[in-house]
Amino acid sequence: MMRIITLLAVLLLAQAPFLTGCGGGSSSAGPPVVQPPPEESTPVGGLDERPANLTCVAPNRREPDRAVAIERAFPALEFQQPLYLGQAPDDATRWFVLEKGGRVRVFENEANVAVTSVFLDLSAAVVTTSEGGLLGLAFAPDFAATGTAYVSYTRSRPSDGAMQSVVSRFTSPDLGLTLEPGSEEVLLTIEQPFANHNGGGIAFGPDGYLYLGMGDGGSGGDPLDNGQTTTNLLGTFIRIDVSGNSGYAIPTDNPFAGNPLCSLGTGSADCPEIFAWGLRNPWRWSFDRSTGLLWAGDVGQNRREEVNVVQRGGNYGWRYREGFLCFNPSTDCPSAGLEDPVIDYPHSIGNSITGGYVYRGELLPQLRGRYVFGDFGRGLVWMLDSDVDGNYIMRELAATGLSISSFGEGNDGELYVVDIGGGLYQLRPAAAGASDAVPMELSATGCVDPANPTLPAAGLIPYRPGAPFWSDGATKDRWLALPEGTSVAVAADGDFNFPAGSVLVKNFSLHDRLVETRLFMRHPDGVWAGYTYQWNEVQDEAYRVTGGATVEIGPQQWLFPSEAQCMQCHTSAAGRSLGLEVAQLNNAFRYAQTGREANQLLTLDEIRLLAPPLATDPVGLPALPDPFGQTSLADRARAYLHTNCANCHRPGGPTPSDMDWRYGLPLAQTGSCNVPPTTGGTLDIPGALLLNPGDPDRSLVWVRMGRRDVHAMPPVGSLKADPEGLTLIREWISGVEMEACLDAGFGDPN
């Protein structure tokens, strides 16, 4: 603001001769008016200038000891929550991308392509609640001649708005350039009891039949048992013959061929459409173009994720089993007649599998014939290899930092990664002799004072969020570093968008000593990644911890997160940087460099770190209160939930829940108040709801905050519950009345 006032004063002084000496003529107007010198303006920001950052810049991202790089493909293109990437048969000139909101976009297969067009728009019909959306696309094998394609999506049931999954046939009016929405022929309609576990992938098999993978209908498998119910189509792989001009037929070798069709999702007998069953939520699957085997990733519940090779008539165990384990050890766990997964892995490694493809390309001969897949929650990419005994083992190929919603396979067999955040990436050979460019010693990163690594480098700018994240009782100091000549863009929702090369630095102190420093880097390729360093006893150096670790620090255990766990919290939906957003920085902070206390937003604006500059005074912008300050209980509780929960629980976040804990949202719109759980079950609490007005003991939001097991919230990054946070949220829920679930009048939107 002072910068604007000073500028106006300069402009007025510049016009003074015209205002005082040009009215009537000449020197006869009298002696010239002497203007007093302008008063020296007092700085209103906390810093006098932007410090030069010549050392703390993110290096090129390299994966150590790996022969595969995940590199941005088609870098000029961005999509809205993409869920699929593929090509039409016998046409390698174009790519097709499914956006969750209902559009299929198409673009030319050129590295520098910058333009897409709409191939099909179903956004008016598609329901995107929870895991719903536009979920699958399959081109008829003769697409080039017929222009016929098949689409899987979720919609509202006309009678009452409940969710349905449908598979429809569409035709092209223009030789395959677009699909005509009005040509839709609905083939299958499957009622969804809940909004998650929709599956929805479709593809043509080598036998020419259309396959569809369906989830079990949600609710965490409890109380439903659709995986073992073959009189409906939930929790199954479906196989139908769509070669006719309308409708579909049943392949004669399907397990229940001959029974009446279940085209509305259920039947009086075992459904003839079923190819295999016992699935929880097959999320992305594919046929090996060489062997014809169907490989599927099946998302687990609380403990295990699994890979299956799906065969006709197979029962894959859900919900008797989760991976190789009994789902409910207290009840019978039969094994007879159940197919084992190829491999499973625990939630300490990943928590939401994304199925991929058996690699059949040419760029990466070392992967040929191996199944490549990933994890949505952790951003890891693996391949299946075999050990000396011929058993399958997982080998990590890359820690991408991406929210992997799908893999894509080109007609040439090369593989791509789809990030739900909007970008497309390709598996390519790593540079010869590539090494990890992030130093193992903190003192070598350029982000700390070389003479005293406990202090930041001169080019770093301190900051403090208004509502800090709980970190097991540690105190924290934070800094940001931008490459010279760059600036921060502020998104429409207030999130800070940092340029490539930026580094965020955070020190954690516990029991009067530094224990950890974390660097969160946006590498030159635009990908974010986290790195953690453990301080030695004498406090003169910190050394990088790779893969995560848990150590004893005084009377408590301390968790050093793995690279993958960093990305599980720093979600793309929340803008990656988390604590750096308008509402978190719209508060006062005392800057050690000058001794001044000033608004952080105003300070960053004064030193021209924000581009474009702030358009309004910070007093008119959203601000998060201190959860343990003096404002209203509701405001403080919601600020706490925004910081500790909304990184995942928001639209586009990596959870199957519809909860949205962003601060400015009315309680009635958070998807929690008086709402039963759809995942994770009730934890055996009678009458449990996500938020039970007036009853924290039956509110899973509060109960899970206090747990540190598979039901913990947050699920990673913490070994110790927050006692003050639990007290705050308990007190708030105790005072929430049922009317608040219907009241849309909370706060200011953020």
Q: Name the segment(s) of the chain with CATH classification 2.120.10.30.
A: 68-429
Q: Say what the pLDDT of residue 743 is.
A: 62
Q: Say what the pLDDT of residue 23 is.
A: 30
Please name which of 707, 705, 704, 701 lies closest in space to residue 689, comparing C-alpha atoms.
701
Mean pLDDT computed over every residue of the chain: 89
Helix, strand, or coil here: 73?
strand
Q: What mean pLDDT is predicted for residues 541-551?
A: 88
CA dist., res. 301 & res. 293, Å (int): 25
Helix, strand, or coil here: 578?
coil
Residue-wise pLDDT for 403-460, tens only, equals 999 999 999 999 999 999 999 999 999 876 556 789 999 999 999 999 999 999 999 9
Please name which of 118, 135, 139, 116 lies closest in space to residue 126, comparing C-alpha atoms.
135
Q: Is 60 exceeded by the pLDDT of residue 18?
A: no
Q: Is 80 exceeded by the pLDDT of residue 712?
A: yes
Q: What mean pLDDT is predicted for residues 450-476?
A: 96
Reported pTM: 0.68
CA dist., res. 394 & res. 373, Å (int): 10
- Categorise residue 524: left if φ over 0, alpha if ψ from -120 to 50, beta otherwise: alpha
Q: What are the structure tokens assigned to 654, written together?
A: 């990596």
Residue-wise pLDDT for 211-233, tens only, equals 999 999 987 444 468 999 999 99
**DSSP state, residue 32:** P
Q: Is 50 exceeded by the pLDDT of residue 40?
A: no
Q: Which residue has the tokens 């065969």?
A: 311
Q: What mean pLDDT is predicted for residues 674-688?
A: 83
CA dist., res. 537 & res. 551, Å (int): 13
Q: Say what the pLDDT of residue 330 is.
A: 65
Q: Say what the pLDDT of residue 13 is.
A: 30
Residue-wise pLDDT for 114-137, tens only, equals 999 999 999 999 999 999 999 999
Q: Is 70 exceeded by the pLDDT of residue 703?
A: yes
Q: Is 145 exposed, middle or buried (0-12, 13-18, 19+ CB in 10 A)?
A: exposed
Compute the Cα dihedral for 222, 195, 744, 159 and give only its sign.
negative
In this structure, whether the domain defined by 68-429 belongs to CATH 3.30.230.10 is answered with no
Q: Say what the pLDDT of residue 346 is.
A: 92
CA dist., res. 500 & res. 61, Å (int): 11
Q: Is 90 exceeded by the pLDDT of residue 20?
A: no
CA 544 and chain centroid, separation: 25
Residue-wise pLDDT for 304-341, tens only, equals 999 999 999 999 999 899 999 998 776 678 778 899 99
Q: Is 286 exposed, middle or buried (0-12, 13-18, 19+ CB in 10 A)?
A: buried
